Amino acid sequence: MNRHLISAADLSLDDAVAILDTAEELAHLAERPIPKLPTLRGRTVVNLFYEDSTRTRISFEAAAKRLSADVINFSAKGSSVAKGESLKDTALTLQAMGADAVVVRHSASGAPHRLARWVSGSVINAGDGTHEHPTQALLDAFTMRRRLGGPDGLRVTIVGDILHSRVARSNVWLLRTLGAEVTLVAPPTLLPVAVDGWPCSVSYDFDSVLPASDVVMMLRVQHERMSDAFFPSVREYSRRYGLDGDRMALLPDHAIVMHPGPMNRGVEIAAEVADSPRSTIVEQVTNGVSVRMAVLYLLLSGSREHDGLGEHGVAEKDAEKHAAGNREADKPEAGKRGAGKRRAGERELVAAGGNPSRPRTGARTRGPA
């Protein structure tokens, strides 16, 4: 696996499967009374977010802390960025502070790639402009694998604002690598000019692709990135490209509905669909922590073979040490046991007429002659 995770297109099949397998093992960590591993103890992970985020930032923070890493959260608001500091100078500052990994979200496409040239630690792309969001694609693939057995051979339909969606780009590349068939559905104005070069098919008729879809992934319309009118009205868009109860009925019985969030209920997805048993929206958030733990683990802790990450457990040595530490913490302290013995000896000495406060020496003192 590479030192950085900047694009889903950079992941080979072996890399992607290794991350998903590791995430599967780490997912069981949440079932423990203390859901932590000491694997990244002493490492520092910086969350460098130039855009607003809820799920991604909290997910990366939770992932790093469950691996016992030190976490520094950086927000552009209230920092020296507001005073005009450049990305490079911020990067050099983080480098001087000893950051082992930088998780970056930026409004400019390509920012993580530039950042990787300036820092010696690992750089993880948490979303750059309209370019990519690789960990979102990984958690989506992980959710498909848990629900449907794996992306290989699945027919995945991605619907919505493809033009401005970094999630769509990363999913197209990753799902293709994992063997899925991807179809993009959107109005012509919300499709990239170069979409013909992507490894997927394109359709403008939402209803026609639903009966053959195993997964339907809905994307929100990103108004904050739009400067022109890309469709007549929100009502018109929802009528043609929104997923409601009637359209969900066209799906096969086993099909699932996904959404990377945040949702615009009543626009691209109806409330009844978002809250239905077929929806994996909340499950995707849960799986995001496991997947990001796996990414941090593999980037900062080395290969699976080197760190004892075997077929049936994540970092068995680390887990055993952690469990042993917990068992020792539950035992009575040796000092308390020793104090109890001393108190018992003092009681016996008092019963025999002695003085417990008198210091004991190796030889008896002689009385007066």
28 in active site: no
133 in active site: yes
In sequence order, the β-bridge partners of residue 202 are 184
Question: What's the rounded Cα separation, in Å, for the pair 25 and 19?
Answer: 10
Marked catalytic residue, from 83, 312, 327, 358: 83
Marked catalytic residue, from 4, 105, 131, 147: 105
131 in active site: no
Cα-atom radius of gyration of the chain, to the nearest Å? Answer: 28
String of b and e for 238-273 (b: at least 16 CB within 10 Å)?
Answer: beebbbeeebbebbeeebbbbbbbebbeebbbbeeb
Marked catalytic residue, from 4, 57, 131, 133: 133
Marked catalytic residue, from 22, 56, 90, 135: 56
147 in active site: no
88 in active site: no
83's tokens? 């005073």
Q: Do 45 and 296 form a contact (C-beta atoms < 8 A)?
A: yes
Marked catalytic residue, from 55, 65, 113, 247: 55
Q: Do 126 and 149 form a contact (C-beta atoms < 8 A)?
A: no
Active site residues: 55-56, 83, 105, 133
